Amino acid sequence: MKNLFLDGSKLLYHLPVVEKWLKGEEIFPVHVEISPSSGCNQRCILCCVDYKKHKAKNLEEAILVKLVKDFKKCKVRSFLLAGEGEPLLNKGIISMLEVSGSLGIDAALNSNAVLLTEDVSKRILPSLLWARFTLQAANPKLYAKIHRAPEEHFKKAVENIRLAVKIKKEKKLNVTLGIQQILINENYGEEVFNVARLSKSLGVDYFVVKRFSKHPSNTYNCPEDLYLGCRDVFERIEEELQDDKFKTIVRWRQFEEDCYRVYKKCIGLAFITQVLADGGIYPCCQYFGNSKMRYGNLHEKSFIEIWKSQRRKRIIRYIENNIDVKKCMTYCRHHSTNQFLWQFREAPEHLNFI
């Protein structure tokens, strides 16, 4: 747990891939984020895809399984089940994760944990490298307000997380379990401490609080300086709750730095991509559902065929050359990757004076 790193880019540890990219050679993404379901059992007020209205659709189990087999062939290192909706609504991810585990591909899960039953935990936790559960409040009524869900969802989520921790310990699984809170108008201040304290009592490995990121198509928003009212609480959770078995992570860098883009173009699209529940593959969440920006669809072609296609390359070139990154959503998924890569694309003078 001491080396858990959630802020910035880890591309430093994939320099051979970066070197190929710099030479203009074809690379496959290091990481893929997958939306197995576009439906959700909650309607969180801060959801970044709220504008899509959560029209329920599941990616078929056969496509999910083939996807991870393709990942093995083209050396995609990892994938995260998250995206448009609640991944556990799609039962096909169980088979997908069992196959990915046998193939040695790193897999992770973001979930609200309401559907994380004992049977599901026993089947998927052995194949996960990490799982992160969202709790926006420790008070059931406030939880229901923010998650826009019944109050009983809070009890279910808490008990399911506690059970997942128990299963992890009993089976001695190598999966990191964490709880995430996003700082918004409704839960800042003492409620951050309450969620962190609850997280520790549940036995998870860590608690993390991060900044809200607004999608241009959504209406919900909160002040950029909201975190200033939480500095004392952030310091308390670090000082009072953290120990050898539980880590508290305040994403200070994200809170204190404006989303200033030193890079002039989005150049990291080759390293991370997004798969949606309708089978569409997109550059990033900014363009979910935009047919002009869709690389292709898994119902028509394989992941490898789509990635090697001229269409995918044209879209990446278009975004690089025509999109003003200042107008993109703040702290987007590619932000840290772009910051890292820009140092290579626009290298400073006198490089040998390190």
pLDDT digits (tens, 9 = 90+) for 40-55: 999 999 888 877 777 7
In this prediction, residues 279-291 reach a mean pLDDT of 91
C-alpha span between 354 and 350 (Å, rounded): 8
Phi, psi values for residue 181, rounded to 5°:
-125, 135
Residue found under tokens 């002039």: 264
pTM: 0.92
pLDDT score recorded for residue 54: 73
pLDDT score recorded for residue 5: 54
Q: Which residues pair with 273 in a beta bridge?
A: 32
3-state class (DSSP) for residue 45: coil
Task: Please state, in angstroms and as integers, the Cα–Cα distance from residue 13 to each residue in 225, 339, 340, 341, 345, following that order.
Answer: 33, 15, 12, 13, 18
pLDDT at 7 over 60: no
In this prediction, residues 299-315 reach a mean pLDDT of 98
In this prediction, residues 87-109 reach a mean pLDDT of 97
From 247, 254, 250, 285, select the one nearest 80 (Cα to Cα). 285
Share of the chain above pLDDT 70, in %: 96
